[in-house]
Amino acid sequence: MRVLIVKASALGDIINALPVLDYLKQASPNVEIDWVVEEPFREMLEGNPLLSELHTVRTKLWRRHPFAAQTRRELAQLKETLRAREYDVVFDIQGNLKSGLICWATGCPDRIGFEKCDLQESVNALFTTRRIPLRRQDRHVTEKYLRLVSIPFARDFRDMQLGSTICTSKEDDANAEALLATLSDGLVFLFQYGTTWQTKFWSEQSWTELGRALLDRFRDASILFTWGNETERRAVTAIATGIGVGSRVLDRYSLKGLTALLKRVDLVVGGDTGPVHLAAAVGTPTVSFYRASDGDSSGPRGSRHVVIQSPLHCTRCFRTRCDKDAMCRNSIKVEAVFAGIVRLLAEPS
């Protein structure tokens, strides 16, 4: 049996979808699994022993230059490659227009997706041949993905132990070890400031206060800052300066390089963003906060993770911008994040 997973983006969603691979291999050990992924996130899946082939798409570039010769060539090549694989089943766990078009391009007669009420973009329903209803208990996004892919196999994913596989190179692992060797012998925290939406950030003042409180409590600890663009680099540099000795802004990492580091730090703090989900996937405890998004639906699960939801009545609004943004940021209290960190560190690993 040969199946295709269509989950092209974003980083956190791809990470939350990784247990799907383990489910499919346990449900049907001889299954061949391919995956369609956006080019920036290909690295996250490369080397995964559960995957047979990766198909890379560049939809942002294609939308910017829809009539370019290169776009036409790449689209034609994608369609040819997908059809040559002759899939038995295609699972669209993305649920928008672009994923629907990719499903249709496969030519597979059995294309399974979500019902219209559960789609990101309702037009997606035009491109799937079977639409699966979710159950009330499918609260978390990972459970929604698993519900969809479990349909042909009639095996309940809730009775299975499922993991996430993310491979890192020996070089990435060695670089992470070398970095940690330059730090003091205390705990190592990683602060993930950056994210995508304005309504997912936390205030620089709050990050600074949290860092100072942690270093006051754990004297030999180190706090590491990552960043993804120049704006984030300037912000975390200011925060690290405000915290003082014990904090360090890192050079920019590749996804696999960051993964290797996340495996080795003691705890990660951040909002609803890919690196937090990545840390949880590799087994590192996390404390994460949620404002516009829903921590119950997308936050890391399990006793080694603390999820903090804004107490405002308008939380989970899923707005990318808001004129009450400052008030919303301040609704996530430093004391609550600090208490979550202390609680996790007190529990046995």
Q: Are 131 and 103 in contact (CB under 8 A)?
A: no
Which of 282, 270, 273 has its CA nearest to residue 172? Answer: 282
SS3 content of the chain, % helix, strand, coil (to 5): 45, 15, 40
Q: Are 291 and 328 in contact (CB under 8 A)?
A: yes
The pLDDT value given to residue 23: 98
pTM for the full model? 0.91
The pLDDT value given to residue 349: 63
The HSE-up count of residue 284 (CA atoms within 13 Å, CB side) is 27
Type of residue found at 122: S
Q: Are 264 and 181 in contact (CB under 8 A)?
A: no
The pLDDT value given to residue 26: 97
With tokens 């960051």, the residue in question is: 258
* Dist CA 58 CA 66 (whole Å): 11
What tokens appear for 23 in the block? 């489910």
Give the burial class of 317: count Cβ atoms within 10 A of its Cβ; 0-12 exposed, 13-18 middle, 19 or more buried.
Answer: middle
Q: Distance of alpha carbon 179 from its chain centroid, rounded?
A: 24
Local mean pLDDT, 10-residue blocks, the chain (349 residues): 96 95 97 97 95 97 93 96 98 97 97 96 97 94 97 94 93 96 96 93 97 97 96 97 97 94 98 95 97 95 95 95 94 98 88
Domain 2-159 has CATH 3.40.50.2000: yes
Report the relative pairing of strands 130-132 and 53-57 from DSSP bridges: unpaired
Q: Which pLDDT tens digit goes with each residue over 39-67?
A: 999 999 999 999 999 999 999 999 999 99
Q: Are 155 and 27 in contact (CB under 8 A)?
A: yes
The pLDDT value given to residue 154: 87
Q: Are 213 and 244 in contact (CB under 8 A)?
A: no
DSSP 148-207: HHHTTTT--GGGS---------HHHHHHHHHHHHTS-SS-EEEEE---SSGGG---HHHH
The pLDDT value given to residue 29: 96
CATH (residue range 170-346): 3.40.50.2000
CA distances from 166 to 50, 53, 63, 284 (A): 10, 15, 30, 13
3-state secondary structure of 320: coil
With tokens 């707005």, the residue in question is: 319
Type of residue found at 224: L
Which of 232, 285, 233, 290 has its CA nearest to residue 262? Answer: 285
287 phi, psi to nearest 5 deg = -120, 120
Q: Where in the chain is the domain with CATH 3.40.50.2000?
A: 2-159, 170-346
What tokens appear for 83 in the block? 């059809």
3-state secondary structure of 12: helix
Q: Which pLDDT tens digit goes with each residue over 153-203?
A: 989 999 999 999 899 999 999 999 999 999 999 999 999 999 989 999 999
What tokens appear for 193 in the block? 């400031």
Give the burial class of 136: count Cβ atoms within 10 A of its Cβ; 0-12 exposed, 13-18 middle, 19 or more buried.
Answer: exposed
